[in-house]
Amino acid sequence: MANTSEENSGNLKKQLAKLFEASLRETVPSEHDVEPLVAACTAKFGDYQCNNAMSLWSKIKGKNTDFKGPPAVGQAIMKNLPPSEMIESCSVAGPGFVNVVLSKTWLAEKIQNMLVDGIDTWAPKFSIKRAVVDFSSPNIAKEMHVGHLRSTIIGDTLARMLEFSKVDVLRRNHVGDWGTQFGMLIEFLFEKFPNFEDVNERAIGDLQAFYKASKQRFDTDSAFKERAQKAVVLPPGWRTQVPPSMAQICDISRKEFDKVYQRLGVHLEEKGESFYNPFIPGVIEGLSNKGLVQESEGARVIFIEGINIPLIVVKSDGGYNYASTDLAALWYRLNEDKAEWIIYVTDVGQQQHFDMVFKAAKRAGWLPAGDSMFPKTSHVGFGLVLGDDGKRFRTRATEVVRLVDLLDEAKTRSKAALVERGKAEEWTEEELEQTAEAIGYGAIKYADLKNNRLTNYTFNYDRCLMIRKSGKDIEELKKIGVLVLAHPDERALGLHLLQFAETVEEACTNLLPNVLCEYLYNLSEYFTKFYSNCQVVGSAEETSRLLLCEATAVVMRKCFFLLGIVPVYKI
* Contact partners, residue 28, CB within 8 Å, separation at least 6: 34, 56, 60
Q: Is residue 367 packed enough to be buried (19+ CB in 10 Å), middle (13-18) or exposed (0-12)?
A: buried
Q: What's the CA gap between 489 and 494, in Å, rounded?
A: 8
Out of 174, 411, 450, 472, the residue judged to bind ligand ARG by CB under 6 A = 174
Closer to ligand ARG by Cβ: residue 46 or 138: 138
**Is cis: bond before 194, omega within 30 of 0?**
no
- CB of 215: closest distance to ligand ARG in angstroms? 16
- CB of 357: closest distance to ligand ARG in angstroms? 8
134 binds ligand ARG (CB under 6 A): yes
Query: Distance between alpha carbon 321 and the CA centroid of its chain, in Å?
Result: 27
What is the DSSP secondary-structure string of 423-484? HHHHS-HHHHHHHHHHHHHHHHHHHHHH-S--S-----HHHHTHHHHHT--HHHHHHH----
State which residue has the least CB distance to ligand ARG. Answer: 137
- CB of 166: closest distance to ligand ARG in angstroms? 25
Find the radius of gyration of the CA atoms of the chain: 28
- CB of 14: closest distance to ligand ARG in angstroms? 33
- CB of 386: closest distance to ligand ARG in angstroms? 16
Closer to ligand ARG by Cβ: residue 134 or 550: 134
344 binds ligand ARG (CB under 6 A): yes
- CB of 329: closest distance to ligand ARG in angstroms? 6
Closer to ligand ARG by Cβ: residue 124 or 272: 272
156 binds ligand ARG (CB under 6 A): no
Choices 78-86, 132-140, 221-229, 362-370 (CB under 6 A): range interacting with ligand ARG: 132-140
Closer to ligand ARG by Cβ: residue 217 or 392: 392
* Contact partners, residue 182, CB within 8 Å, separation at least 6: 140, 141, 176, 231, 232, 246
- CB of 351: closest distance to ligand ARG in angstroms? 12
340 binds ligand ARG (CB under 6 A): no
Question: 3-state DSSP call for residue 407?
Answer: helix
- CB of 277: closest distance to ligand ARG in angstroms? 14
Instruction: Count the Cβ atoms, other than its own, within 10 Å of residue 517.
Output: 24
Nearest 5°: CA angle at 542, between 538 and 547?
145
- CB of 534: closest distance to ligand ARG in angstroms? 49
Q: What's the CA gap between 484 and 106, in Å, rounded?
A: 10
Site for ligand ARG in 469-508 (CB under 6 A): none
Closer to ligand ARG by Cβ: residue 137 or 245: 137
Choices 69-77, 134-142, 211-219, 475-483 (CB under 6 A): range interacting with ligand ARG: 134-142
Site for ligand ARG in 362-401 (CB under 6 A): none
Range list of H helices, 499-541: 500-509, 513-533
Contact (Cβ atoms closer than 8 angstroms) between residue 247 and residue 296: no
- CB of 273: closest distance to ligand ARG in angstroms? 8
Q: How many residues bind ligand ARG (CB under 6 A)?
A: 10
152 binds ligand ARG (CB under 6 A): no
The one-letter code for the residue type at 214 is: S
Paired strand residues for 176: 139
Closer to ligand ARG by Cβ: residue 321 or 503: 321
326 binds ligand ARG (CB under 6 A): yes
Out of 245, 346, 499, 503, the residue judged to bind ligand ARG by CB under 6 A = 346
Closer to ligand ARG by Cβ: residue 108 or 329: 329
- CB of 319: closest distance to ligand ARG in angstroms? 17
Closer to ligand ARG by Cβ: residue 210 or 344: 344
Closer to ligand ARG by Cβ: residue 214 or 544: 214
Closer to ligand ARG by Cβ: residue 199 or 364: 364
Closer to ligand ARG by Cβ: residue 246 or 559: 246
Name the phi and psi angles at 345, rounded to 5.
-115, 105
Question: 3-state DSSP call for residue 373?
Answer: coil
- CB of 189: closest distance to ligand ARG in angstroms? 21
137 binds ligand ARG (CB under 6 A): yes
Strands 341-347 and 311-314 turn out to be unpaired
- CB of 171: closest distance to ligand ARG in angstroms? 13
Site for ligand ARG in 1-60 (CB under 6 A): none
Contact (Cβ atoms closer than 8 angstroms) between residue 469 and residue 477: no
Question: 3-state DSSP call for residue 309?
Answer: coil
Choices 131-139, 503-511, 542-550, 557-565 (CB under 6 A): range interacting with ligand ARG: 131-139
Contact (Cβ atoms closer than 8 angstroms) between residue 70 and residue 96: yes
* Contact partners, residue 465, CB within 8 Å, separation at least 6: 549, 553, 569
Closer to ligand ARG by Cβ: residue 403 or 504: 403
Listed residue (186, 131, 138, 203) closest to 160, CA to CA: 131
Instruction: Count the Cβ atoms, other than its own, within 10 Å of residue 199.
Output: 21
Q: What's the CA gap between 169 and 154, in Å, rounded?
A: 14
Closer to ligand ARG by Cβ: residue 67 or 135: 135
Contact (Cβ atoms closer than 8 angstroms) between residue 375 and residue 368: yes
Name the phi and psi angles at 362, rounded to 5.
-70, -45
- Chain residues that interact with ligand ARG, rule: CB under 6 A: 134, 137-139, 174, 176, 326, 329, 344, 346
